[in-house]
Amino acid sequence: MSSLLARISNKSAHVVVMGIGYVGLPLVAEFARVGFRVTGFDKDARKVRALNAGESYIDDVSSDELAPHALEGRLDASTDPEVLGKADAVIVCVPTPLNKTKDPDMRFIVDATDEIARHQHPGMAIVLESTTYPGTTTEVLVPKLTEKGFRLGEDVFVAFSPERVDPGNAVFKTRNTPKVIGGATPACLEHANALYSHIIDQVVPVSSTETAEMVKLLENTFRAVNIGLVNEVAIMSRRLGIDAFEVIRAAATKPFGFMPFFPGPGLGGHCIPIDPLYLSWKLRTLKYQARFIDLADSINSAMPDYVVERIADGLNEHAKAVRGSRILVYGVAYKRDVTDVRESPAFDVLVGLQKRGAAVSYMDPHVPSIDEHGLAMTSMDPADGFSSYDAVVIVTDHASLDRPRLLAEARLVIDTRDALRGVPGDHSKVLKL
């Protein structure tokens, strides 16, 4: 047994988590909970101050899960990269966005790898969790972390383990969500497996880092493609005069061979709109077109514009133009009952309506204000009701939405989530996708 493996086994290893957002903070909480000394490293001083005070800033981790460990000195945070030099294990949870041409923006992974290499010492385990294209660990991390003579699988242990965070999921959290792990060598896999086994109920070892990288991309490509399919079904059903949501719910009664996905105003969140395009980009470098991915992206990316068209159609039917109309967008979080607005289609809907001259407002009890995409707005108070608007667009169907009141007060509703199904009232003023 290596000395590092022994430290992991007896929990004396010091774990540093790079990037303490939606992915990193739950890991920090879990490692601290089982008794590891853990440090969150982030360039965001606000997150570092909050974590040092034992205060959470994301929905899925409570301050009660952090405060006792911060008080005992087992958990802390820093903006100083020198903490990496004291680490036995480093878990990298940095962003992997797309650039303006929808190509992978790898600078955060590259910068993190360079920072680790500057503070590297023998006997470190480095695990990348950031979603990326197959080959990243082998092509980016391994060369950099072995260039100073560190031997892979002996002095440095490199692995990839894709994050599987689902914000707002009340059932599946970090511990009870199975964890896929691929090592750059068998010894690398052994060390990463030992580390995660302390905080995860079920680890799933695979044969390589490339396999582990592909697992994550398959998971989210599966969802993106199926959402693209049902979004197109919604467009086709509208032309046929059929309720797509009713079709899908009826089809879902089949006990085999069908899995329901539902249409919506577009994709949001940190995974589904982005991850499949990492795979598509990688395949283009190999002169192969990922046709399902590209088609799904084309359909899903067009949905916010389609929603704006449906709003315009609805207003026209009421002898109104978009220009000058007062329109309320309900929900800017990317999914129900979370505060996360990353990649939310609501922004494209708001901007699209503004460009057409509408007077737009938004209401979201989970997001009190927004300041991005050229929009600086404050949420309307739900107590004010819906009667003063020419149209209300349901983009995110938060549980707290007063559906009966909305249906009673609103003059026109564009329901992109089928949120008003079964609510008593006048549904003649409700338009769906």
Average pLDDT, integer, range 3-24: 97
Sheet architecture: strand order including 413-415: 359-363, 326-330, 391-394, 413-415, 430-432
Per-residue pLDDT at 2: 83
Per-residue pLDDT at 105: 94
Per-residue pLDDT at 102: 87
- Report the percent of the chain where pLDDT is more than 70: 100
Are 399 and 417 in contact, with CB atoms under 8 Å apart? no
pLDDT tens-digit series, residues 379-419: 999 999 999 999 999 999 999 999 999 999 999 999 999 99
Where do the structural domains in the chain lie, given as residue ranges? 3-208, 240-432
Average pLDDT, integer, range 351-362: 98
pLDDT tens-digit series, residues 161-211: 999 999 889 899 999 999 999 999 999 999 999 999 999 999 999 999 999
What is the DSSP annotation of 152-200? BTTTEEEEE------TT-SS--TTTS-EEEEESSHHHHHHHHHHHHTT-
Per-residue pLDDT at 215: 97
pLDDT tens-digit series, residues 51-89: 999 999 999 999 999 999 999 999 999 999 999 999 999
Active-site pick, 127, 158, 230, 271? 271
Q: Which residue has the tokens 């290893």?
A: 13
Q: Minimal CA–CA distance to 310: which of 388, 243, 238, 261?
A: 238
Are 69 and 44 in contact, with CB atoms under 8 Å apart? no
Whether 271 is catalytic:
yes
Confidence of residue 367 (pLDDT cuts 50, 70, 90): very high
pLDDT tens-digit series, residues 202-250: 999 999 999 999 999 999 999 999 999 999 999 999 999 999 999 999 9
The Cα 72–Cα 254 span in angstroms is 53
C-alpha distances in angstroms, 12 versus 7, 78, 86, 102, 420?
A: 5, 20, 12, 42, 54
Q: What are phi and psi of 59, to 5 degrees?
A: -65, -35
Confidence of residue 101 (pLDDT cuts 50, 70, 90): confident
- Report the percent of the chain where pLDDT is more than 90: 96
Per-residue pLDDT at 394: 98
Do 3-208 and 240-432 fold alike per CATH?
A: yes
Helix (H, G, I), strand (E, B) or coil at 259: coil
pLDDT tens-digit series, residues 293-307: 999 999 999 999 999
Predicted confidence (pLDDT) at residue 347 exceeds the cutoff of 90 = yes
Q: What are phi and psi of 119, to 5 degrees?
A: -115, 20
CATH architecture for the domain at 240-432: 3-Layer(aba) Sandwich (3.40)
Enter the pTM of the model: 0.93
The Cα 314–Cα 312 span in angstroms is 5
Report the chain's mean pLDDT, rounded to a whole number: 96
The Cα 268–Cα 159 span in angstroms is 28
Predicted confidence (pLDDT) at residue 1 exceeds the cutoff of 80 = no
Task: Say which CATH topology domain 3-208 has.
Answer: Rossmann fold (3.40.50)
Predicted confidence (pLDDT) at residue 317 exceeds the cutoff of 80 = yes
The neighbour count for residue 230, using CB atoms within 10 Å, is 21
CA angle 160, 161, 165 (to 5 degrees): 145
Average pLDDT, integer, range 85-100: 95
Predicted confidence (pLDDT) at residue 270 exceeds the cutoff of 90 = no
